[in-house]
Amino acid sequence: MAKRIRTFIALQLTPNIRQRLVAWQDKLAAAIPEVKWVEPENLHVTLLFLGEVPDREVAEVCQRVEEAVAEVAPFSVMVEGLGCFPEPRRPRVLWAGITTGSEQLQQVHALIEKPLHYLGFRREERRYVPHITLGRLKADREVPRLPELLREYRSCRGGEMLASEICIMASQLERSGPIYTVMGRARFRGEPTPAEHGETDTSDEAEDFLDAGDEPLMD
């Protein structure tokens, strides 16, 4: 019987952006109890979740994804703002948003979804919204301070990076939490325009944000 691998496709984050998001998690944890926070090494932008994939099909999945994005040019991605699913009154998931680069990520999602649908993977029924899951609430309950926090973090920046590849990931579920492993990489080989060469990591902003007592960075 073929081994099956829990598989998803993701954009990996830079270490500096992960560091800033951990700082967000620490500050939010003081205001919102009983949240299962995502481990720093597991923070990412999911592009497509495939579910359980037979191991003999992984190589073809990697090839189809690589072919689908080969002509995509590298582009800037800005992590900015805080949101929640499904709605602020009774949130289940807290996430960091994507502003710059959101449209390109939606395009990449569409590019990889079509060929993988031909392989037998189902299409997403919900509209794809690029985001980074920060934590999941352990119970369905109201969070009185959440509307205030959403306003406070609306323009808070987690940093900017250059997206130049996506990864095909394996997820192994353990009692302590999931363990993610890169099974393949699909690089963006298109020619970027000069505007797409923007800043790749705003380290000075990160240091300002991480200083104790500082307000979140605003535009």
| Residue 147 burial (CB count, 10 A) | 12
CATH of the domain at 75: 3.90.1140.10
Does residue 144 belong to any structural domain of this protein? yes
Per-residue model confidence as pLDDT tens digits over 70-126? 999 999 999 999 999 998 888 999 999 999 999 999 999 999 999 999 888 988 888
Q: How far from 181 is each of 28, 153, 158, 172, CA to CA, in Å?
A: 28, 31, 24, 8
Tell me, what's the pLDDT at 204?
38
Q: How confident is the model at residue 142 (pLDDT cuts 50, 70, 90)?
A: confident
pLDDT for 167 beyond 50:
yes
Domain that holds residue 45: 4-190
In this model, does residue 200 exceed pLDDT 80?
Answer: no
Asked if the structure places residue 107 within a domain, the reply is yes
Point out the catalytic residue in the list 109, 117, 131, 197: 131
Q: Is 44 a catalytic residue?
A: yes
Q: Which residue has the higher pLDDT, 200 or 147?
A: 147
- 30-51: average pLDDT: 95
pLDDT of residue 218: 28
Number of domains in the chain: 1
Give me the catalytic one of 44, 109, 117, 197: 44
In a domain, 154, yes or no: yes
In a domain, 76, yes or no: yes
> What pLDDT, on the 0 to 100 scale, is given for residue 11?
98
> Which residues have a Cβ under 8 Å from the Cβ of 16 and sit 6 or more positions away?
159, 201, 203, 206
Residue 198 falls inside a structural domain: no
Q: Does residue 208 form part of some domain?
A: no
pLDDT of residue 1: 65
Report whether pLDDT(156) > 50.
Answer: yes
Tell me the DSSP string of the chain: ---EEEEEEEEEPPHHHHHHHHHHHHHHHHHS-SEEEPPGGG-EEEEEEEEEEEGGGHHHHHHHHHHHHTTPPPEEEEEEEEEEES-TTS-SEEEEEE-TTHHHHHHHHHHHHHHHHHTTPPPPSSPP--EEEEEEESS----TTHHHHHHHTTT-EEEEEEE-EEEEEEEEEETTEEEEEEEEEEE--SPPPGGGG--S--HHHHHHHHSTTPPPP--
Rounded Cα–Cα distance for residues 63 and 74 (Å): 19
Residues in the chain: 219
Is 30 among the domain residues?
yes
With a cut of 70, say whether residue 194 has pLDDT above it.
Answer: no
| pLDDT at residue 206, as a whole number | 35
Residue 159's pLDDT is what?
97
The pTM assigned to this predicted structure is: 0.86
For residues 143 and 92, the answer to whether their CB atoms sit within 8 Å is no
Residue 121, domain member (yes or no): yes
- Structure confidence at residue 196 (pLDDT): 52
What are 2's two structure tokens?
């073929």
In angstroms, the first-to-last Cα distance of the chain is 55
pLDDT at 136: 95
Poorest-pLDDT segment among 33-42, 96-105, 135-144, 163-172:
135-144
**Is 109 considered catalytic here?**
no
Closest CA to 157 of 16, 7, 8: 16
Quick check: 170 pLDDT over 90? Answer: yes
Mean of the per-residue pLDDT values of the chain: 88
